Copies of this chain bind each other. A is one copy, B any other.
Amino acid sequence: MAELRKDPILGRWVIIATERTKRPGSYHVEKDAAETDPAQCPFCLGHEDMTPPEIFAIREGRSQPNKSGWKVRVVPNKYPALGIDAPLKKWGIGMFDAMTGFGAHEVIIETPDHRREAKDQSIDEITTWLYVLQNRVRDLHNDNRFRYILVFKNKGQAAGASLSHPHHQIIGTPVTVKRVKEELDGAMDYFKLKERCVFCDIMKEETEKGERIVYENDAFIAFCPYASRFPFETWILPKQHCIDFYDNRISEKIRSLADILKVTLQKLSKALDNPEYNYIIHTAPNKFPRQGYWQTIEDDFHWHIELLPRLVKTAGFEWGSGFYINPTPPEEAAKFMRESKV
């Protein structure tokens, strides 16, 4: 299937395809991939047999699994980055560390409608797939082989989406991904120093200043972070301290989450003429009892969404250096979105 490999200098794990790998010639195709045709789209209504059998679905009336009549549908990724049937094994090769490509890779099809983007969906529709996302993360968290459950959305080709039909992806990994580990470590260090959650402190500061706020409602706040890497980068946080995306307190406020997500995406679309974007849900890792490292995680972490519009092209340099140049101050980006009427 695939193999996980660890960089011996940075400790970063990567997934390396080992079967059906991409040959050099095949990279051209990706460059020229076009908008998916609904007639060929495996996520469209009536094409249920084009995907692996469904894991879960919200269905109307008495409709049958893997048939039409669904509202939200969860299927295994047909070309998974990691495989749920792989055994979980680790080994060394000389000085290097490897692991089997065990993991989960699911696709959450938001709507049967090929062109109904998240920003155009109703609060009811968004609420429904948010519930489904919560359920999938909760379910995968019950499997102790997973260290982290990554929920993300790629919208548009430049953002890495190979199918344009609106969908999210979930990848469950047997290691904690580097960026998440750094965030957990950073939040823990801050807590050690201050005995406060760094995200709660940031929210307080942003609320007092106001200049980087994009939108807020009763339970959530959206703002452009002070040290935004990218123009119009926007974070969405629950106002109440909470480490898990699927916490019951979030489920109770799920319509508010749907509201802030819809409004933020609408404002972004209006400000930047429907740009391509990625967002990633940063929820807490799978927790293991008494492992020292996670002892204070209930206090120091705070789940949130990081929304990254794809506007600038300097990625390779940034990948290589970790150094970002943002041509639009977050104060201006926030003002622009705040004032965009949607």
* A-to-B contact residues, CB < 8 Å: 5-18, 21-24, 27-28, 30, 81, 94-96, 150, 152, 154, 157-160, 171, 173, 177-183, 186-187, 190, 198-199, 201-202, 205, 208-209, 225-229, 231-232, 271-273, 275, 277-280, 306, 308, 310-330, 332-333, 336
Contacts and interface: CB of A to CB of B under 8 A. Distances in A.
Given A201-B95, A273-B28, A308-B316, A179 B323 contact: yes
A308 B318 CA distance: 11
Given A178-B322, A329-B17, A313 B157 contact: yes
B316 A154 contact: yes
B179 A322 contact: yes
Given A10-B182, A27-B311, A271-B24, A5 B320 contact: no
**Mostly helix, strand, loop or mixed at chain A's interface?**
mixed
Contact of A30 (B16, B17, B313): B313
A316 to B, nearest CB: 3
A201 B96 CA distance: 11
Nearest to A273: B28
Give the oligomeric copy count.
2
Given A316-B277, A327-B21, A179 B321 contact: yes
Given A22-B231, A226-B96, A160 B7 contact: no
A6 B225 CA distance: 11
A130 to B, nearest CB: 19
Given A5-B227, A205-B95, A15 B326 contact: yes
Contacts of A173: 323
Contacts of A324: 12, 14-15
A149 to B, nearest CB: 11
B278 A30 contact: no
A313 B28 CA distance: 12
B152 A320 contact: yes
Given A94-B205, A328-B17, A159 B227 contact: no
Given A10-B183, A21-B332, A308 B320 contact: yes
A98 to B, nearest CB: 9
A319 B308 contact: yes
Contacts of A315: 159-160, 310, 315, 319
Given A228-B16, A278-B317, A8 B198 contact: yes
A23 to B, nearest CB: 8
A3 to B, nearest CB: 8
A330 B16 contact: yes
A160 B9 contact: no
B319 A229 contact: yes
B272 A27 contact: yes
A280 to B, nearest CB: 4
A329 B94 contact: no
A184 to B, nearest CB: 10
B205 A96 contact: yes
A209 B24 contact: no
Contact of A319 (B8, B271, B318): B318
